[in-house]
Amino acid sequence: MATIDVAVIETGNGGDLRLVGRDLALVSGWDNMPYLGMFGGNVGQSTPANRAAGEEAFDWWGNSLLFGDTPDLQFNSLTEARLDEITLTSSGRIAVEQAILRDLAFMLPFADITVTTEITGIDRLRIMINVKRPEVLQEQVYIYLWDGVTGTLNYVPSNQGDYNNDYNNDYYT
């Protein structure tokens, strides 16, 4: 049974829902999970267990509501914070990989995850995430390009499809 969700894309100021005409675009499977795990939470902070009355929360609203008793499942965007604070060197690249693996740890009960990063230019990083269900031979590859100068993230559709159910790589049209 396939999982269906609304498509979330990076727009430069946080994720937004993708529209196709006047309808919301859908994704099947786990397409939103890597993006939301890395960029959908409380940037670089752990959600506090208790807040003082009236204290403003800067984290994702679901951390406290849905995962208040399970901090390991909370979205804290360690990747986003790491990308904002490190110098993109060989050791910085490894620090980003470690942050990605921590952000995607919530997927480990149902998927094998490997992360590879590559510095492709000055302040540019290619992030490749392989997600494989243990009982299935096929894996899904998610590729993101980070531009540290502009602070932008771009999703690169893999050869296994795009955000539409027609799998013809028309993501940007």
Calpha distance 143→159 (Å, rounded): 10
Whether pLDDT at 73 is above 90: no
Tell me the average pLDDT of the chain: 81
Instruction: Look at residue 79 in the predicted model and tell me its pLDDT.
Output: 92
Q: What are the angstrom distances between the C-alpha of 60 and each of 30, 51, 166?
A: 19, 14, 32
Q: Tell me the two tokens of residue 172.
A: 């940007």
Contacts of 114 (CB under 8 A, 6+ apart): 129, 130
Task: Write the Ramachandran bin of 12: left for phi over 0, alpha for psi from -120 to 50, otherwise beta.
Answer: left
Residue 166 scores a pLDDT above 60: no
What is the enclosing helix (H) or strand (E) of 4?
A: strand 4-6
pLDDT at 126: 96
d(CA 96, CA 142): 16
What span, in angstroms and rounded, lies between the C-alpha atoms of 30 and 104? Answer: 12
pLDDT at residue 159 greater than cutoff 70: no
What amino acid occupies position 142?
Y
The reported pTM is 0.79
Neighbours of 13 (CB within 10 A): 7
Q: Are 135 and 151 in contact (CB under 8 A)?
A: no
Secondary structure (3-state) at 123 = coil
Q: What is the CATH number of domain 4-44+62-156?
A: 3.10.450
pLDDT at site 14: 66
Q: Which two tokens stand for residue 171?
A: 């993501």
Q: Could you state, in order of their start, the residue ranges of all structural domains in the chain? A: 4-44+62-156
Query: For residue 68, what pLDDT band results from cuts at 50, 70 and 90?
Result: confident
Crossing angle between the packed helical segments 78-85 and 90-103, to the nearest 10 degrees:
160
- For the segment 120-138, what is each residue's pLDDT rounded down to a tens digit? 999 999 999 999 988 877 7
